[in-house]
Amino acid sequence: MKRPLPADAFLREETYAKTRLPVDFASTLIPDAYVSPEFHALEQERVFAKSWVPVCVPDEVREPGQFLVVEVAGRSIIVTRNQAGELRAHHNVCRHRGARLCEGTGKVKRFFSCPYHAWAYDLDGTCLGTPLFTPESDVPVDQRAAFDMADIKAFDIAEMGLHPVRVAEWGCLVFVCLDPDTPSIEHELGDLVEQLAGYRLDEYRLARRVEYDINADWKLIGENFMEYYHLPWVHPGLVKISPMDSHYRWQGAGMYVGFCTWPIAANTDDGGWKGLPPVTFVQGQDAEAARFIWLFPNVAINVMANHVVLLLAVPDGPGRTAEVVYLLTHPESIAQSTDSEAEIDSLMNFWDEVNKEDIGIVERVQDGLRNPAYEGGRMCYRFEDSCHRFQNMLIDRLLGVPGVPPGDDEETVRMFGPRDRSEQT
């Protein structure tokens, strides 16, 4: 297939024929998907504007009036909590002349006030006044009559609320969905809700948040996360605590890719995942396992018995990603630790080290993909079934193919070492 492909090819099923093959025969997603501005624009509209997109952790919007401005598919959205403590999301655009209401993060007492002409909206998005005269208002009392709009014609303030966006909370993540027709988040998560229920992820609290600017497409970060083929060469420290032959497929039905390491080996001089005390409610194999999930479209969830790490890969234009890494801990671990801050620092240092190794390699892949001589590569079935699943989910969403992929018959399947592949089926 000669590159670059014309933009109209991106919405044709035959363009993806080699990736649609069973993994044993398949090739990777077309390289233009990682470099083309036209593909990026389509992906924003057809994937990100139609999916449940993770945007933050609950602690970033814990209190009523605490807000965070996020961008999904190019739309600016305010995520907040109302006075009753319920999550709310609205398009960050004033209903008067369209000014952006809020920037960044912050906390308001009762309402958002537009910086342009002071129209105000409460935490449920209801338009309160035009402008609102409150005890805190800057408008002198003797001038307020000039702003009174009581006699305005054909204007119903009840219809002037902020445009709402669907919002949901699951575990330690908050999601928004721009499309009213997308099925519920539970439908998308599939069996993950049940599979991770024992970890009580909703009780985890934010301990560290770090941002990384990456010169690579968000999909490369995901694909790199979900295959451990590169471990010996890219992560000499990580492979000591997460040995190749301790990896298992752990794949149920849902819009995700899952695998696990069991057992996690002890920390080495290069660091590791142990240190902070584990929670007591995670028992048996799970107490010694690391579970890794790439939840479609763009977040990695790493779950261990003593901490959780999220990698949120936010697309930032073609070939660029603004990644946010969150480290979360459970109050029980913190209570049992004699020096939790030092333990968290050493966990975060280890993740930072591993993440920088990954960033270095995905940026090299991004550079390679810009060369039109590269036309896509053959999947390595033993390690890259995960990438195959993800790329096919992406193609499905891009082309509007509904549904959630099924899982394996067996809950876990060893992935490395000599084996007869027929044993898996």
Amino acid letter, 281: F
Q: Which is nearer to ligand FES, 94 or 344 (CB)?
A: 94
CB of 305 vs ligand FES, minimal distance in Å: 49
The one of Fe ion, ligand FES, none whose footprint includes residue 119, by CB under 5 to 8 A per kind, is: ligand FES
Applying CB under 6 A, which of residues 67, 119, 121, 170 lies at the interface with ligand FES?
Answer: 119
Please tell me the distance from the alpha carbon of residue 122 to that of residue 90, in angstroms, as a whole number.
11
Measure Cα distances from 359 to 174, 210, 218, 222, 224 in Å. 25, 14, 11, 11, 9
Q: Which is nearer to Fe ion, 358 or 396 (CB)?
A: 358
Please tell me the distance from the alpha carbon of residue 122 to that of residue 84, in angstroms, as a whole number.
12
Contact between 97 and ligand FES per CB under 6 A:
yes
CB of 178 vs ligand FES, minimal distance in Å: 22
What would the two tokens of residue 122 be?
A: 């409460």
CB of 103 vs ligand FES, minimal distance in Å: 14
The one of Fe ion, ligand FES, none whose footprint includes residue 116, by CB under 5 to 8 A per kind, is: ligand FES
CB of 159 vs ligand FES, minimal distance in Å: 16
Q: Which is nearer to ligand FES, 117 or 187 (CB)?
A: 117
18-26, 63-71, 111-119, 243-251 -> range binding ligand FES (CB under 6 A)? 111-119
The one of Fe ion, ligand FES, none whose footprint includes residue 358, by CB under 5 to 8 A per kind, is: Fe ion
CB of 120 vs ligand FES, minimal distance in Å: 9
**By C-alpha distance, which of 202, 252, 259, 248 is closest to 225?**
259
Amino acid letter, 239: V
Q: Is 403 left (phi over 0), alpha (psi -120 to 50) or beta?
A: left
Contact between 99 and ligand FES per CB under 6 A:
yes
Applying CB under 5 A, which of residues 32, 43, 286, 358 lies at the interface with Fe ion?
Answer: 358
Q: What is the DSSP string of 348-391?
A: HHHHHHHHHHHHHHHHHHHHHHTSTT----B--HHHHHHHHHHH
CB of 94 vs ligand FES, minimal distance in Å: 3
Q: What is the dihedral of CA 387, 392, 397, 402, to 10 degrees?
A: -130
User: Taking CA 155 as the corner, what is the angle to CA 153 and CA 160, rounded to the nearest 5 degrees?
Assistant: 165
**By C-alpha distance, which of 388, 169, 376, 355 is closest to 257?**
388
18-26, 79-87, 94-102, 154-162 -> range binding ligand FES (CB under 6 A)? 94-102
CB of 415 vs Fe ion, minimal distance in Å: 15
Could you say which DSSP state residue 47 is in? I
Contact between 162 and ligand FES per CB under 6 A:
no
Contact between 114 and ligand FES per CB under 6 A:
yes
Q: Please provide the size of the chain in residues.
A: 425
- Count of beta carbons in the 10 Å neighbourhood of residue 262: 18
Contact between 111 and ligand FES per CB under 6 A:
no
Contact between 75 and ligand FES per CB under 6 A:
no
CB of 271 vs Fe ion, minimal distance in Å: 15
Chain residues that interact with ligand FES, rule: CB under 6 A: 94, 96-97, 99, 114, 116-119
